[in-house]
Amino acid sequence: MPKKHQPNYNKTKPSYVHPSLQSSKSSSASTPTSPQSVSERIQQLRREAAPRATTERRDEVTDVVTRRSVPPALRRILHIAEVDAPAPKPGSRFSRAPRTGARPPPGPAAPSSWLDASRHAPDYLRKLRKKWHGEDGSAGLEKLSMLARVCDEEYKRLPPNPSLIHSTLKTFAVNFADLIEYEQYYVPALPVPLKEALLSYLSLYAPKGSLTFKSFKILFSTDKEVEGATGSEDIRFLDLTNLMSEGFSLGDLNKCLTRSFPTAASVTGGLKDLSLDTVNKGKEKAASIDIVESWEDEADEADEAIVAPLPSTLSVPLFPKLTRLSLAHPGSWASWSDLLNVSPTLKTITHLSLAYWPVPSTTPNAATTSMVSKHKTIALGGSSFYSELDDDWHEAANILRRLSQNTYCLRWLDLEGCTWNKALTWDLPSNPRLGSLDFLSQNPDEWARPTSTPGPDWNGAWRQIEYLNLFQGWIPSDQRSIMAMPAGLIPVQLLNWLREHREEEEWQDKLKFDTGHAVTEWIDREKVARNVGFAVHQLRKAAGGKWCKVDYGWEPFVEHRPPPKEESDDA
């Protein structure tokens, strides 16, 4: 029979000795050993780097190893707490949760950025993307000003989100103060659509006060100032929403809209002296003229005698194609005096946004100041502190009339969040005009009504306005507070509107859960807005003008169409 194979187990002693146990004598006396391999060297470094076991750790391990187990029955009788089973080793098949449903794709999980833009994303991610980036993936259009959204629908100059241009413009807006300083020779070379989009991004992401007078001039530098600059001749829209600050005010904007050049008369002194001499001689001649019998002869002689001097400077617009301007959310830097000074350069504006502007006044700091005399107390400002309570909108209507005379090309006006809508159609109590509620109730004679009014003329300077936004900026959503109010048309319409649109995502940013006095004040202001819209419609209808759409921010009116007629059997 063959011999049984007996394996030979050669027991080798471990050759590793800790460095602390080795002595200089033994190391010098020992024979040189063979060099260690890479694996052995790595194992040795791991053993040396491992921390030494402390006394507490050694006692804990010993207690766990020597602990005796107790049967479950005795454990329940002795009320001993159950001991958790040891956790499975990572990577084992027992450590995974039981799989339900389809097997997931192999490999690591996809990055979150891929999942956000995927059509297979969860519902909550898709709702979040729809809320912040819009239905078509636009760059947060819900956060932009209303005029920016309207312009994007026509020109499509805002980049989609996500995109490289969107990320670049967002980063540029966040670091605008630094980049406009260090890249001032390259920023003016941006294309015109990117410059318009950059201003909109500044209103969203830039810190307060980032846009200054200097940075605005750098952004719209001409080719003569910076090589390769695109200038400002093709700019159509300036979005200055929430960009007014100490470093950039309406006065600075007025300096940037026009540029003055000296004329030939100011350069050559001879022509100037000649014109002055001619004017002086004309004045002397006009003073010596006797009264003539005919007005025509007097007019002819006056034209020959008086010669107008030539202007010394010539103003040239830097934004000749500018048609849309947004000055919404000015904060404490809103100045009606500066706006009236800027208005002569806004004769080509067709879209204007004055959202959240204060009550029109040229002396806002003197509203609470008055002078007391023996006979009467006189307010030093144009309007007193109680002008709104007294229904006195004389100064506000006068300022709007002066503004309308310089913006006669206006077709779109945004007054969202403004509390002075009544000044748009206000007239003196003694002279109610057509379209106002007092006129409709009293119906005075047409010949007794004056032709001029203190407010803007909706059939004159502002006859081309086709859209007027009177939205208050928010909508109350507390149905109990609305139902507790006295019965009226607006509360009923608001309740019906909330039942239909309360859960829609596009209205979530505008709904506010305010109660009590806030809801009552909202209803009162909504009534004023309705009266203003009705007055504008009556004024346009009486003069045969264009129809003006008045937007209240929500659709209170529901169009009830008659049902289609059923065809008869005979037909």
Q: Which amino acid is at 505?
A: E
The reported pLDDT for the residue numbered 241 is: 92
Kindly tell me if the per-residue pLDDT of 55 is higher than 60. Answer: yes
Q: How confident is the model at residue 290 (pLDDT cuts 50, 70, 90)?
A: low
Kindly tell me if the per-residue pLDDT of 100 is higher than 80. Answer: no
Q: How confident is the model at residue 447 (pLDDT cuts 50, 70, 90)?
A: very low
Residue 138 has phi, psi (to 5 degrees) of -75, 165
Kindly tell me if the per-residue pLDDT of 379 is higher than 60. Answer: yes
Question: What CA–CA distance (Å, rounded) separates 467 from 351?
Answer: 9
Each residue of 348-369: pLDDT tens digit? 999 999 999 999 988 888 777 7
Residue 436 or 199, more confident: 199
Q: How confident is the model at residue 466 (pLDDT cuts 50, 70, 90)?
A: very high
Residue 95 or 340, more confident: 340
Report which listed range, 239-243, 285-289, 375-379, 518-522, is most confident: 239-243
Kindly tell me if the per-residue pLDDT of 142 is higher than 50. Answer: yes
Within 8 A by CB and 6+ apart from 30, the residues are none
Three state DSSP letters for 47-99: HHHCCCCCHHHHHHHHHHHHCCCCCHHHHHHCCCCCCCCCCCCCCCCCCCCCC
Kindly tell me if the per-residue pLDDT of 339 is higher than 80. Answer: yes
86, 97, 123, 280 from 274: Cα distances, Å: 109, 101, 81, 10
Question: What CA–CA distance (Å, rounded) separates 33 from 538?
Answer: 110
When pLDDT is averaged across residues 403-418 and rounded to a whole number, the result is 92
Least confident interval from 180-189, 214-223, 386-395, 404-413: 386-395
Question: What CA–CA distance (Å, rounded) separates 233 from 318?
Answer: 6
DSSP class of residue 565 equals: P
Kindly tell me if the per-residue pLDDT of 196 is higher than 90. Answer: yes
Question: What CA–CA distance (Å, rounded) separates 512 from 32?
Answer: 86
Within 8 A by CB and 6+ apart from 428, the residues are 394, 454
When pLDDT is averaged across residues 37-47 and rounded to a whole number, the result is 87
Each residue of 268-280: pLDDT tens digit? 554 444 444 554 5
Question: What CA–CA distance (Å, rounded) separates 494 from 503?
Answer: 14
When pLDDT is averaged across residues 421-450 and rounded to a whole number, the result is 58
Sole residue written with tokens 């001689």: 281
When pLDDT is averaged across residues 384-407 and rounded to a whole number, the result is 86
Percent of the residues in the chain that have a pLDDT greater than 90, as a whole number = 27
Question: What CA–CA distance (Å, rounded) separates 210 from 178?
Answer: 9
Sign of the torsion formed by the C-alpha atoms of 504, 506, 512 and 518: negative
When pLDDT is averaged across residues 175-195 and rounded to a whole number, the result is 91
Cis peptide before 162 (omega within 30 of 0): yes
Helix, strand, or coil here: 20?
Answer: helix
Report CA 47 to chain centroid distance, whole Å.
62
Kindly tell me if the per-residue pLDDT of 509 is higher than 70. Answer: yes
Q: How confident is the model at residue 451 (pLDDT cuts 50, 70, 90)?
A: low
Within 8 A by CB and 6+ apart from 554, the residues are 471, 475, 497, 501, 507
Two structure tokens written together for 204: 């969203």
When pLDDT is averaged across residues 472-480 and rounded to a whole number, the result is 87
Beta carbons within 10 angstroms of residue 502's beta carbon: 13
Q: How confident is the model at residue 431 (pLDDT cuts 50, 70, 90)?
A: low
When pLDDT is averaged across residues 396-401 and rounded to a whole number, the result is 92
Exposure string over 405-432, b if 16+ CB within 10 A, otherwise e: bbbebbbbbbbbbbebbbbbbbbeeebb
Two structure tokens written together for 111: 């990055």
Question: What CA–CA distance (Å, rounded) separates 357 from 388?
Answer: 16
Q: Which amino acid is at 155?
A: Y
Two structure tokens written together for 451: 């032709």
Q: Which amino acid is at 37?
A: S
Question: pTM, whole model, 2 decimals?
Answer: 0.65
The reported pLDDT for the residue numbered 139 is: 42
The reported pLDDT for the residue numbered 77 is: 84
Percent of the residues in the chain that have a pLDDT greater than 70, as a whole number = 69
Q: What is the CA radius of gyration of the chain?
A: 41
The reported pLDDT for the residue numbered 382 is: 73
Kindly tell me if the per-residue pLDDT of 566 is higher than 60. Answer: no
Least confident interval from 151-160, 335-344, 384-393, 428-437: 428-437
Question: What CA–CA distance (Å, rounded) separates 366 from 380?
Answer: 6
Kindly tell me if the per-residue pLDDT of 80 is higher than 60. Answer: yes
What average pLDDT does the structure give for the chain?
Answer: 77
The reported pLDDT for the residue numbered 140 is: 52
Q: How confident is the model at residue 448 (pLDDT cuts 50, 70, 90)?
A: very low
Ordered DSSP codes for 348-409: T--EEE-TT-----S-GGGTT-EEE-SS-EEESSSS-TTTTTTT--HHHHHHHHHHHHH-TT
The reported pLDDT for the residue numbered 329 is: 92
Q: What dihedral do alpha carbons 375, 380, 385, 386 form, nearest 10°? A: 40
Question: What CA–CA distance (Å, rounded) separates 96 from 89?
Answer: 10
The reported pLDDT for the residue numbered 106 is: 79
Residue 123 or 362, more confident: 362
CA proximity to 318, closest of 264, 261, 266: 261
Q: What dihedral do alpha carbons 51, 55, 60, 61 form, nearest 10°? A: 60
When pLDDT is averaged across residues 128-147 and rounded to a whole number, the result is 60
Cβ proximity of 248 and 211 under 8 Å: yes
- What's the order of all strands across the beta sheet hosting 549-551? 237-239, 324-326, 351-353, 412-414, 467-469, 549-551
Sole residue written with tokens 């909330």: 498
Helix, strand, or coil here: 345?
Answer: helix
Cβ proximity of 305 and 297 under 8 Å: no
Exposure string over 66-95, b if 16+ CB within 10 A, otherwise e: eeeeeeeeeeeeeeeeeeeeeeeeeeeeee
Cβ proximity of 384 and 367 under 8 Å: yes
Helix, strand, or coil here: 17?
Answer: coil
Three state DSSP letters for 97-164: CCCCCCCCCCCCCCCHHHHHCCCCCCHHHHHHHHHHHCCCCECCCCCCCHHHHHHHHHHCCCCECCCH
Q: How confident is the model at residue 562 (pLDDT cuts 50, 70, 90)?
A: very low
